[in-house]
Structure 1
Amino acid sequence: MLANRIKELRKLLNLSQRELAELLKVSQQTIASWETHRSEPSYDMMLHLASFFDVTLDDLLGRHDSQGASQPNNSHDLQQFLLDNQGLLTYGGAELT
């Protein structure tokens, strides 16, 4: 999935393998190897790729809701939240009243 995603993101930016390689300061052969499953970028390079393409690591790795990517649950019930946290809310370490 990573190989396909790198290729997809590169093409979305209308970049050739050579152009992407120059921007990332790697060889064109390295990009080709990543895109054909012959090798994978290091963890540090994956972070760099995610930053370069302005995506999350989960997105770079092709993880979506159906594949187990963690998504924040924004549908909290305030009353339950306050009960769970003993009514204490803080901001920047200071208690809110």
Structure 2
Amino acid sequence: MLANRIKELRKQLKLSQRELADLLKVSQQTVASWETHQSEPSYDMMLHLATFFGVTLDDLLGRHDNQAPSQPSSSHDLQKFLQDHQGLLTYGGEELTEIEREQLRVAISTIFWKRPLHQ
């Protein structure tokens, strides 16, 4: 079931195996082996996958067989999230400064929209 869920969640996000591998910093072959039941991700990687896809670990493992496949658990506007969580964001255990949050916002909008979004 794990293999099917990884593939299903990846496709819901319209990611190729290569794109998912790049985002997770693993090889495309690793993602392919997860999706074809040839290997399973480590426990730490399963936690990372659940967080990445916005699902619970139970959902990633398919422990809700009587439910229809779920979308990621919730949706948040990232720009609003960065604005609303001032002083609450950390990276590697370090709290982000206001300047770092702004740099993050600009980087995300540049990556996804090729131009910074105005607040």
What TM-score does the superposition give when structure 2 sets the normalisation length? Answer: 0.54
Percentage of pairs with the same residue = 88
1:22 alignment partner in structure 2? 22
User: Which is higher, the Rg of structure 1 or of structure 2?
Assistant: 1
1:66-77 alignment, distance < 5 Å: 66=66
After superposition, the C-alpha distances for 1:15-42 in whole angstroms (9 at most, x for unaligned) are 0000000000000000000000000000
- The count of aligned residue pairs is 67
1:43 alignment partner in structure 2? 43
Rounded Cα–Cα distance in structure 2 between residues aligned with 1:30 and 1:65:
25
Amino acid at match of 1:4: N
2:33 alignment partner in structure 1? 33
Runs of 4+ in structure 1 deviating by more than 6 angstroms, as ranges, are none
The answer for unaligned runs of 5 or more in structure 1 is 67-97
3-state secondary structure, aligned to 1:48: helix
For residues 27 and 65 of structure 1, do their structure 2 counterparts lie closer, same or farther at Cα, with a shift above 3 Å needed? closer
Rounded Cα–Cα distance in structure 1 between residues aligned with 2:38 and 2:65:
27
What TM-score does the superposition give when structure 1 sets the normalisation length? Answer: 0.66
How big is the shift at 1:65? 6.5
2:5 alignment partner in structure 1? 5
Rounded Cα–Cα distance in structure 2 between residues aligned with 1:57 and 1:51:
8
Rounded Cα–Cα distance in structure 2 between residues aligned with 1:7 and 1:30:
12
The answer for unaligned runs of 5 or more in structure 2 is 67-119
Amino acid at match of 2:48: H
Rounded Cα–Cα distance in structure 1 between residues aligned with 2:32 and 2:16:
10
**CA-based RMSD:** 1.5
